Structure 1
Amino acid sequence: MNNKIRTDLALEVRESFPEDDVEIKGVILTENYDEENDIRVSTVVIKDERGAKAMQKPIGTYITIEAPEIDKSSENNHKAVTEEIARQLRKLAGDLKGEEVLVVGLGNREVTPDALGPQVVDNLFVTRHLIKEYGTDFKEKHHLGNVSAISPGVMAQTGMETVEIIKGIIKETQPKLVIVIDALAARSIHRVNTTIQLTDTGISPGSGIGNNRKALNEESLGIKVIALGCPTVVDAATIVSDTLTSYMEHSGFDETDIDKFISEVREQQIDNMFVTPKNIDESIKRISDTVSEALNTCFAQAV
């Protein structure tokens, strides 16, 4: 299929290449599967400009955690996913995991599929004010990390680019690491509310739905940025295209006819529509609990 896919997940971009093109120059894909907990971790590393051009994504590491049970109220699975997210966060943070951390919850809390970031921040154990109030001895006695957090809202609410707000906060508080949380868009309906992506390349707010804002990354903010997101929506045109493609393939149409027909369908007035599951309220609550617990485990307590 030649139609452009709309996704924030590097893994889905990698999967969009033809099956016979196993190796993409400058891109490395590795996978690990935890059969007991049904958790698959895929790591896409874009090594150089060749890989970045092929993938249309910045050079860096993209870790995708697929956990189909994350959207269900299972305590055992919740713990396993939390531990996996924390493990991958520590890997990306490296030596900075014990330093001052600023968590930024992107999104609009009034729009449920976009409320992941604000809800994660609501559940965080923030400690910076305690350390400033009671000092280093208090921090060491209670084994606290140094965490601050902000939900800056969206441009329509504030009139400011998110990067402008965050740069001001960084200037005043001097964190060493920024963790950005955001809702994403997926290519596959099976990855909605079941997948977590972590990357050390930062993020462009709203990119998944074609509403690009200025990027939040090390270049724009001046310090290391880790982005963590979960896809909560799928492009409606993608769902229609997949359904029609499957039907036409089983009906004997050749690839040229399918491509032509799907291209005509995508030109209809469904291009700016996005679909989210009907239980999105419950899903956002569960996922935000899982992500915030992983963040608390990594950064709120010194280890």
Structure 2
Amino acid sequence: MSKFQMRTDLALETREKFQEDNVEIKGVTIDEYYIDNSEIQITEVNIETENAAKAMGKPKGAYITLEAPNMMEPDEGYHREISDELAKQIQKLLPNQGKEQSVLVVGLGNRQVTPDALGPYVVDNLLITRHVVKEYGKYAMGKEEVNTVSSIVPGVMAQTGMEPVEVIGGIIKETSPDVIIVIDALAARNTKRLNRTIQITDTGINPGSGVGNHRSGINQESIGIPVIAIGIPTVVDAATIVQDTMKNLVDAMEEIQGGEKLGTAYDSLNDFEKYQLIQEVISPHLNGMFVTPKDIDETIKRLSFTLSEGLNIALQV
């Protein structure tokens, strides 16, 4: 079989591949814990060396994953808990936390394509303060210290003819923010994380990488200032759906037959080998297909509000 390429933007899922293969990567640390009185799980993956970054296929830095199994449910209290925890995790990655700074929030994605509209929707609900502070001073916000928050939705290359990083670069020259926070929809490799997981990282982002549509990276190396990226996986690829269905089918058939194995060839493969096999079987007609839930319209609106509320809390000095 050809070299395995896992379609995921989540560092946690990349790390799980090595755990499944019983491979230990030096230079990668992982810390998992649950939030008290909540179903929220936090996993921190830190890539500390260049060799580890090369093995993982991701830049050095911190990757914080917040998993909330009921995040798709319309429970305002639960979503407030998620926003509060998200704010704490964002503040951990913000440079010069506790001091006044200028923050540019970038909503990546295409507003016309619902699974890709997370970034623009988040920007719609942000508390924007830069224009108020510039016109009336920070005391107009009722505080002695306040972050100046601005935002932009740069669109996608098919709409503008420009890479998002080019648009952002021009804005940086004019407004000189201290830090950029980028919001984007992601791709996952596991259906259980679809619309139930938030990833926060200080390494920036490569828009579209999870679906094989690579754009120029938005990171400190390319734009010259710190970049925090926040995303939620809203799509999975067809191979993931087939793999999960196969697993459920095999489990159900074995249960019907009293635990008798249906065969050893497929069962002897680990999860990622099964995924690779299925990718090759469904090629070429379904290999580029990505799937999203049928209620994605309401889900994106709900999740975008949760993210924007977390950002609004985090950016208060």
TM-score grouping bracket, smaller chain normalisation: over 0.9
1:232 to 234, 242, 250: 234
The answer to whether residue 3 in structure 2 is matched with residue 25 in structure 1 is no
Cα root mean square deviation, aligned: 2.2
Q: 1:265 to 1:241 in 2, by over 3 A?
A: farther
- 1:201-236 deviation line (CA, Å, top 9, x unaligned): 000111111100000000001000000000000011
The answer to whether residue 227 in structure 2 is matched with residue 216 in structure 1 is no
Report the more deviating stretch, 67-76 or 177-186.
67-76
Letter in 2 for 1:276: T
Cα offset, 1:135, TM superposition:
2.0
Mapping for residues 11-50 of structure 1, pairs under 5 Å: 11-19=12-20, 21=22, 23-34=24-35, 36-50=37-51
Decide whether the 8 Å contact of 1:3 with 1:263 is kept in 2: no
Cα offset, 1:271, TM superposition:
1.0
Whose helix proportion is higher, 1 or 2?
1
Decide whether the 8 Å contact of 2:138 with 2:146 is kept in 1: no
Decide whether the 8 Å contact of 2:138 with 2:144 is kept in 1: no
1:252 to 263, 268, 278: 263
Report the more deviating stretch, 141-150 or 47-56.
141-150
Decide whether the 8 Å contact of 2:181 with 2:229 is kept in 1: yes
Letter in 2 for 1:289: F
Decide whether the 8 Å contact of 1:30 with 1:44 is kept in 2: yes
Cα offset, 1:143, TM superposition:
5.0
The answer to whether residue 283 in structure 2 is matched with residue 267 in structure 1 is yes
Decide whether the 8 Å contact of 1:96 with 1:177 is kept in 2: no
Q: 1:169 to 1:31 in 2, by over 3 A?
A: same
Decide whether the 8 Å contact of 2:138 with 2:145 is kept in 1: no
The answer to whether residue 185 in structure 2 is matched with residue 174 in structure 1 is no
The answer to whether residue 136 in structure 2 is matched with residue 134 in structure 1 is yes
* Residue number in structure 2 paired with 1:198: 200
Report the more deviating stretch, 254-263 or 166-175.
254-263
SS in 2 for 1:149: strand
SS in 1 for 2:70: helix
Unaligned runs of at least 5 residues, structure 2: 252-260
- 1:108-133 deviation line (CA, Å, top 9, x unaligned): 00000000000000000100000111
Q: 1:15 to 1:143 in 2, by over 3 A?
A: same
Cα offset, 1:36, TM superposition:
2.1
CA distance in 1, matches of 2:246, 2:4: 13
Cα offset, 1:244, TM superposition:
3.1
TM-score (norm. length: structure 2): 0.89
Cα offset, 1:256, TM superposition:
6.5
1:277 to 279, 293, 311: 293
- 1:126-163 deviation line (CA, Å, top 9, x unaligned): 00000111124435647532100001110000000100
Q: 1:292 to 1:269 in 2, by over 3 A?
A: same
SS in 1 for 2:29: strand
Unaligned runs of at least 5 residues, structure 1: none
Decide whether the 8 Å contact of 1:105 with 1:181 is kept in 2: yes
Q: Alignment length, in residue pairs? A: 301
* Residue number in structure 1 paired with 2:69: 68
Letter in 2 for 1:176: D
SS in 2 for 1:101: strand
